[in-house]
A and B are shown apart, each in its own frame.
Chain A
């Protein structure tokens, strides 16, 4: 088995290894750049239909948004964001958990607050999808 493999490997010349390494590099780089789609870089928080804050997803922080029912707490972590607590009765936006993809939206309708992730290549948003 090993001898048979060696028979093929002698056919490769030094430049061939170089070309193969370059080819594999193209594969890896193209996968990394083209399949990164959906990585968000900022969170947009809206209150009462107006943009309340645009926060980068680089560091951990908490945004407190006042609404008609009380304060909605939004947690930001590197690469993701969630609604941590909300005064609304049904807690849909809280139970959605962490949002990680660009275009993802969590809406706390009773308190008129929404959180959406933007940036990167958004394929769709979670409303239209």
Chain B
């Protein structure tokens, strides 16, 4: 066997992103075990990780972690390239774009909860746009908007609070 001439050396940055993405993937897989009344309504626990990464290491790392989570999480759940995967991807892209803008809000006034709620709304927005254009080409999908909006508010609040709580604790164990 000829030894490979290409050697990829992971940088410490790569390792950190991989470690954080793993945490997000674990939450995704764990969450898939929770029975839910309506497709599309999920707590989105992995977004706690995204919020913390955004606050500690910035938007670029948050994008990496969130997208790795979408791909690897759906691969593990056997959902890769299924409709649910594309909905999840559309939602993630929309909420990452929103986070990119919302992170510039003054920190003194807007904490992780604001970011979480805004990202959750962007997530359902991205999903609904894709669903309307592609999966259910009928305005009937918008009938569920109030349900999704309420879910986004509640889970956005809960995830934001958990992220804020984790970040308010001692930071040393996360370095």
Flag the segment in B3-11, B17-25, B157-165 that touches A: B157-165
Task: Assess whether B57 is interfacial by the CB under 8 Å rule.
Answer: no
Q: Does chain B have a CB within 8 A of A129?
A: no
| Contact A11:B157 (CB < 8 A) given known A19-B117, A27-B150 | no
Given A30-B146, A34-B143, A34-B145: A15 in contact with B153 (beta carbons within 8 A): no
- CB-CB under 8 A from B164, the residues of chain A are 11
* Chain B residue at minimal CB-CB distance from A9: B161
B156 at the interface (CB under 8 A from A): yes
Q: Is B172 an interface residue, CB under 8 A from the partner? A: no
Say yes or no for B108: interface residue by CB 8 A criterion.
Answer: yes
A27 neighbours in B (Cβ, 8 Å): 146, 149-150, 153
How many interface residues does B have (CB within 8 Å)? 27
Name the one of B149, B160, B161 contacting A30, with C-beta atoms under 8 angstroms.
B149
Query: In whole angstroms, how far apart are the Cα atoms of A23 and B151 in the complex?
Result: 10
Indicate if B142 sits at the interface (CB-CB under 8 A): yes
* B168 and A11 contact, CB distance less than 8 A: yes
- Quick one: CB contact mask for A50-71 with B, threshold 8 Å, 1 for yes? 0000000000000000000000
B111–A15 touching, CB < 8 Å = yes
Establish whether residues B105 and A11, one from each chain, have CB atoms under 8 Å apart when the complex forms.
Answer: no
Q: Which of B85-116 contact A (CB under 8 A)?
A: 105-106, 108-114
Number of A positions contacting B (CB below 8 A): 19
In the complex, A19 Cα to B111 Cα: how many Å?
10
User: B110, B117, B150, B153: which contacts A13 (Cβ < 8 A)?
Assistant: B110
- Give the interface SS of chain B, mostly helix, strand, loop or mixed: helix
B152 CB to closest chain A CB (Å) equals 7
Tell me if A12 and B113 are in contact (CB < 8 A): yes
| B121: interface (CB < 8 Å) | yes
Q: Within 8 Å of chain B (Cβ to Cβ): is A31?
A: yes
A15 touches B105 (CB 8 A): yes
Chain A residue nearest to B105 in the complex (CB): A15
In the bound complex, residues from chain B placing their C-beta under 8 Å from that of A20 are 113, 117, 153, 157
C-beta contact mask, A97-126 vs B, less than 8 Å → 1, else 0?
000000000000000000000000000000
Which residues of A, 64-110, contact B by the 8 Å Cβ criterion?
Answer: none
Task: Say yes or no for B118: interface residue by CB 8 A criterion.
Answer: yes
Output the nearest chain B residue to A8 by Cβ-Cβ distance.
Answer: B161
**Least CB separation from B120: chain A residue:** A23
Please, how many angstroms separate the alpha-carbon atoms of A69 and B75 in the complex? 72
Given contacts A26-B121, A34-B143, A34-B145, contact A19 B110 (CB under 8 A): yes
Nearest A residue to B108 via CB reads A13
Listed from nearest, the 9 A-B pairs whose CB atoms lie closest are: A15-B109, A31-B146, A15-B110, A11-B164, A16-B113, A23-B153, A13-B111, A19-B114, A27-B149
